[in-house]
Amino acid sequence: MDEKKVMLSGIQPSGDLHLGNYLGAIKNWVDRTDEFDNYYFMADMHTITVRQNPADLRRRTLEQLAQYIACGLDPDKNTLFIQSHVHQHAELGWVLQCYTMFGELSRMTQFKDKSAKHKENINGGLFTYPSLMAADILLYQPDFVPVGEDQKQHCELTRDIAQRFNSIYGDVFKIPEPYIPKAGARVMGLTAPDSKMSKSMPEGCVFLMEKPEDIQRKFKRAITDSDTENCVRYDPAAKPGVANLMSIYSAVTGKSYETIEQEFGGCGYGKFKPAVGDAVVECLRPIREEATRILADKAYLESVYKAGAEKASYVANKTLRKVYKKIGFVAR
């Protein structure tokens, strides 16, 4: 029997999970669970590149695990783990820093954005973050890395680092492909359709655990467009707010833009916005209920992340040993 291909991805527990994380990444992970051998983690080591309150980081890491499972990631079919529990990430991260160029790191848009936002704390980790991300990925020899559009640049750098390493030492790393969804790859803010949805704009961001009435309020107040047409039509350049709502609706319901235009084209934004809100509420309701239930069972969560770390370490260690041997470290 052919071995299954491998998928791997992670999310920083730097804030509560939101609709962008779900549609851009997690939903895609869940939809392909049975086809692949899957590794998904909480990227807590990346999170400390920006100052965190320790108690909040710990709480959010466990909440994120409960939400992964509630979104449909069955721990029997997915290796779910906490990044800092698998020490090989830090070790390979260091090695790969030595194979990543200063110029490459300087061009990363996430670094530019975050260093502009956190001027008081432009630390070394923020700069070398992509080398650690390359290690996260390459340790597991994945075929695909399912992420939203904004992580494409980091995935491409990962490929460049892997190719550079392989060209010196032979085929050590598999070269992974980013795997980006058709709808939901870049969910924009509801209050600012020119910026991606993120936790830093609370009114424009829908969180997975949010109450239905709050979700509805945010969709009703979503910015549409200043044109007078008042017609639901997919035109991202002229109507970015409507296009964003259409892509959310499409990702959540599976309907095509054409079908959505036929359904709402004639009725104006007044009917469309609450309909998108309803669809999102119904999509998130079971996730919220299940996550609340799972989060109450701390022993279960612990059993999941411990088993996950054990399996992940085993796989990661194989790659790390190979790398250490190739670069000339003496075997233990």
Positions that interact with ligand TYM (CB under 6 A):
9-12, 20-21, 24-25, 43, 46, 133, 136-137, 145, 147-148, 150-151, 154, 185-187, 196-198
Contact 181/28 with Cβ under 8 angstroms? yes
Choice between 198 and 253, CB closer to ligand TYM: 198
Q: How far is the CB of 10 from ligand TYM (least distance, A)?
A: 4
Query: How many Cα atoms occupy the beta-carbon half-sphere of 211 within 13 Å?
Result: 3
Choice between 67 and 151, CB closer to ligand TYM: 151
Q: How far is the CB of 21 from ligand TYM (least distance, A)?
A: 4
Cα gap 323→172, rounded to integer Å: 7
Choice between 137 and 295, CB closer to ligand TYM: 137
Q: How far is the CB of 17 from ligand TYM (least distance, A)?
A: 8
Q: How far is the CB of 188 from ligand TYM (least distance, A)?
A: 7
Q: How far is the CB of 315 from ligand TYM (least distance, A)?
A: 15
Annotated catalytic residue, options 27, 196, 239, 273: 196
**Residue number with the shortest CB distance to ligand TYM?**
24
| Catalytic-residue membership of 196 | yes
| Catalytic-residue membership of 114 | yes
Annotated catalytic residue, options 5, 152, 174, 199: 199
First to last CA, the chain: 35
Choice between 231 and 276, CB closer to ligand TYM: 276
Choice between 157 and 231, CB closer to ligand TYM: 157
Residue 329: partners with Cβ closer than 8 Å, 6 or more residues away: none
| Distance of alpha carbon 220 from the chain centroid | 26
| Catalytic-residue membership of 77 | no
Catalytic residue numbers read 114, 196, 199
